Structure 1
Amino acid sequence: MIELKFKTFKRAPFFEIAKQLIKGRDKILDIGAGEGSFADYLQKLDIYLLEGNPASVAKLKKRYKNVFQGKLPDLPYENSFFDLIHISHVIEHLHPDDMYKTLKEMDRCCKPGGAIVVSTPLFWSGFYNDLSHIKPYDPLVLEKYFGALQKPNSTREVISKSYTVERLEYRYMEEIPDWNLYRCNGLVLFLLKVLTFLRRSIYKKYIRTGYTIVLRKAN
């Protein structure tokens, strides 16, 4: 059964997954903070924010003190510094080499017992509508390189064998056929639209458009 709150393109239900993991004094990093939507959702003023856009960094510094301008894959932080690392809708913009190096950096900065929370789209019909999207990364990629799979069969060295998948939630959208793509018209197109209406009324079909995964690092 798909939960209604995950049938959305809104990020709040997935921010909540990360929020539920946070304790009072935890050190939190949000990578690719943008305009600060995750930080604003948490209302945690001591959160660490990493952002590459200078204009966004300037705005964030007016509201938060731990704001850093930087570019992935490098993270300007000490080893084992964070209790939770959050990265939302960022990895799909990375080429595989930078993706791999970013995962290594997140592992380096995550405390034993801490968590890494990744949200990203999967491949769907609208994925490449954004010119900055490089490729979608299946959750198995993260499980593989963070050692959550017993037999990873990796093309690169496994980054760690210390993680387990604590939670995996998919994002969904209703699949609605676009019959205009089939160059139908007249009565045929009308009948197809009627069939689509009936199907949506009786049995809705959903596709996965993204996910949030929680990877827990062993103590």
Structure 2
Amino acid sequence: MLSDDHGSWGYTSSTGLGFTRNDVVEAHFAACAPYYRQALDEAGIEAGWHVLDAGCGSGSFLPLLADRVGAAGRVSAIDLAEENAARAAERTRDGSFAPPVDVRQGDVLDLPYKDGTFDAVWCANTTQYLDDDELLRALREFRRVVRPGGVIAVKDLDASLITARPTADPFLFTDFFRAAARAPGYARQLLRARDLYRRLAEAGLQGVRQRTVVMEHYAPMAPAVRRFYGLACARIAQQATDAGLAGDWQAFLDPDGAANPLRDPFGYISEGNVIAVGTAPMPTGTL
């Protein structure tokens, strides 16, 4: 799971994985919350269900999942980073959750639940940290712990749709990811989201469907949007500069700089949001 390049991406949690520190995870959720709610709508989670949030981070999706299953449902959650799992558990203690919520520290590659425990598994912004073999293993774990006919919904970002304006070169970020993805690692996995439909089918799921949405943010940008994308672009710009990639990266290095394109009166940033959904097969002979 841990490729050698995560340190260069920064904002690591105790797992050593880039962009998993809880403050950055929460900033991303705050910046993209309307798009994330739309993606969750695609999953078709129903009232009364028991749902697993696999790779829950610091728990930003937990209130939304709790609202969907209601008082008659249940929510479980798991995350690899101990501090993220602890923060997610803390969210559930304020008395605002209608259903019971159980949060654990653990690994999506070896889920500590019995077969057929859940009606649905929701996995958001987590598969980007798995190599191809691990991704298949995780999807098979999701299939194992969900009941026959249950739902598995995987959401992740598509970095091929990242672009910023105004810049002299509209392919600045595209060229970075093209170069960085030549070797196995995090950049390559950030470009894999639109293959999720195929990965779900390879894991034995049925009725697989997928939708990709461009998440767009333009001036005047909300503080949460400017904060997250300013930090994210700065890390990419630093990597590009260190690698000697051509392009006008200097303006992105300072998230708060007046020359940063995201602070321009016509500033713009986008990325892709992919949601793939499938169902666990029914036993042979079941009508």
Both structures adopt the same fold (TM-score exceeding 0.5): yes
1:123-162 aligned within 5 A: 123-124=159-160, 125=173, 135-136=189-190, 138-139=192-193, 141-147=195-201, 158-160=202-204, 162=205
- Aligned position for 1:164: 207
Amino acid at match of 2:213: Y
Check conservation: 1:29, 1:84, Cα contact below 8 A: yes
Offset, 1:207: 7.1
Which one of the candidate residues 97, 107, 110 is aligned to 1:74? 110
What SS does the aligned partner of 1:23 have?
coil
Large movers: runs of 4+ above 4 Å: 126-129, 131-134
1:210 aligns with 2:254: no
What SS does the aligned partner of 1:24 have?
coil
1:95 aligns with 2:131: yes
Check conservation: 2:54, 2:79, Cα contact below 8 A: yes
Distance in 2 between residues matched to 1:137 and 1:216, nearest whole Å: 24
Distance in 2 between residues matched to 1:143 and 1:111, nearest whole Å: 20
Which one of the candidate residues 21, 24, 27 is aligned to 2:47? 24
- Aligned position for 2:121: 85
Check conservation: 1:164, 1:217, Cα contact below 8 A: no
Aligned residues: 177
Deviation per CA, 1:80-101: give whole Å up to 9, x if none.
2211111111111112221121
Structure with more helix by fraction: 2
Distance in 1 between residues matched to 2:55 and 2:187, nearest whole Å: 14
Deviation per CA, 1:117-175: give whole Å up to 9, x if none.
1111123328869x96561354563333433xxxxxxxxxx331x41124523234489
Amino acid at match of 1:136: L
- Aligned position for 2:168: none
Long gaps (5+) in structure 2: 1-29, 94-100, 161-172, 219-245, 250-264, 283-287
- Aligned position for 1:34: 57
Change (3 A) 1:19 1:59: same
Change (3 A) 1:73 1:91: same
Check conservation: 1:87, 1:117, Cα contact below 8 A: yes
Amino acid at match of 1:118: V
**Segment of structure 1 superposing worse, 116-125 or 43-52:** 43-52
Amino acid at match of 2:277: V
Distance in 2 between residues matched to 1:137 and 1:108, nearest whole Å: 27
Distance in 2 between residues matched to 1:78 and 1:39, nearest whole Å: 21
Offset, 1:40: 1.8
Offset, 1:37: 0.7
Distance in 1 between residues matched to 2:273 and 2:83, nearest whole Å: 28
